[in-house]
Amino acid sequence: MVRFSLDVPVVKRDIPDLAMTLEIPRLPPSTNNLYWNVAGKGRVKTRQYTDWITECGLLLKQQVTGRLTGRVDIRIRAEDKHPLRDCDNLCKPICDLLVKMGAIQDDRSKFVRSVKAEWAPIKGVRIEIERCAA
């Protein structure tokens, strides 16, 4: 896999839109496989996680036109091909990537009011973000 840097600035321009739909081609690693412990360093992102961030981050950069500010609800629909996987393990890495790519302000409860993850008959992952009432 060719590695690209996401260290270029992401434009975090607020947009007046009420909703945004984004798509990525593959599921993130399970929450259980995002970090590993390194003696003397603590928790470090796994190679699998950094590869996913790089690949999907580049694709999201092309789709994100600005940041939905304020309170939002997030719906994650994922390809239903992993019979042993927990769909709630999709939430953490996807929400972190949305913040990193400037799609949402932050993933703290002040801003993200709900996250719904579900399996669906689609390819990849579809992320629907809607601004919610204050």
| 118 occurs within a structural domain | yes
> Which sign does the torsion angle of CA 24, 30, 31, 37 carry?
negative
User: Whole domain around residue 80: which residue ranges?
Assistant: 19-131
| 39 occurs within a structural domain | yes
Q: How many domains does the chain have?
A: 1
CA separation for the pair 12, 1 (Å, rounded): 28
Statement: residue 4 has pLDDT above 50: no
* pLDDT, mean of residues 55-71: 93
What are the DSSP calls for 87-122, one per residue?
GGGGHHHHHHHHHHTTSBS--STTTEEEEEEEEESS
Residue 84's contacts (CB-CB under 8 Å, 6 or more residues apart) are none
| 7 occurs within a structural domain | no
Q: How confident is the model at residue 3 (pLDDT cuts 50, 70, 90)?
A: very low
pLDDT tens digits, one per residue of 110-123: 999 999 999 999 99
For the chain, the average pLDDT equals 89
pLDDT tens digits, one per residue of 12-48: 677 777 899 999 999 999 988 999 999 999 999 999 9
Statement: residue 8 has pLDDT above 80: no
| 6 occurs within a structural domain | no
Q: How confident is the model at residue 85 (pLDDT cuts 50, 70, 90)?
A: confident
Say what the pLDDT of residue 133 is. 79
Say what the pLDDT of residue 112 is. 97
The CATH number linked to 37 is: 3.30.1330.70
| 62 occurs within a structural domain | yes
How many C-beta atoms surround the C-beta of residue 93 within 10 A? 20
The H-assigned helical ranges of 5-127 are 47-63, 91-100
| 10 occurs within a structural domain | no
